[in-house]
Amino acid sequence: MKDTILRENNSINCGGNLLSLEDPIVMGIINITPDSFYDGGKNNSIYNAILQAKTHLDAGATFLDIGGYSSRPGAEEVSEEEELARVIPVIQSITKEFPSSIISIDTFRSKVARAAVENGAQIVNDISAGDMDNEMIATVGDLGAPYIMMHMQNTPKNMQNNPSYENILLEITKYFSSKIIDAKNAGIKDIVLDVGFGFGKTIENNYTLLKNLSHFKLLGHLMLVGVSRKSMLYKPLNINPAEALNATTAAHMIALEQGAKILRVHDVKEAMQAIKIYNL
Contact call for residues 113 and 140 (beta carbons, < 8 A): yes
Cβ contacts of 82 within 8 Å, gap of 6 or more: 68
Cβ contacts of 78 within 8 Å, gap of 6 or more: 33, 68, 69, 70, 86
> Given 72, 264, 269, 276, which residue is catalytic?
264
> Given 42, 72, 179, 230, which residue is catalytic?
230
| Active site annotation includes 230 | yes
| Active site annotation includes 114 | no
Separation of alpha carbons 49 and 37, rounded Å: 17
Question: What are the catalytic residues?
Answer: 230, 264
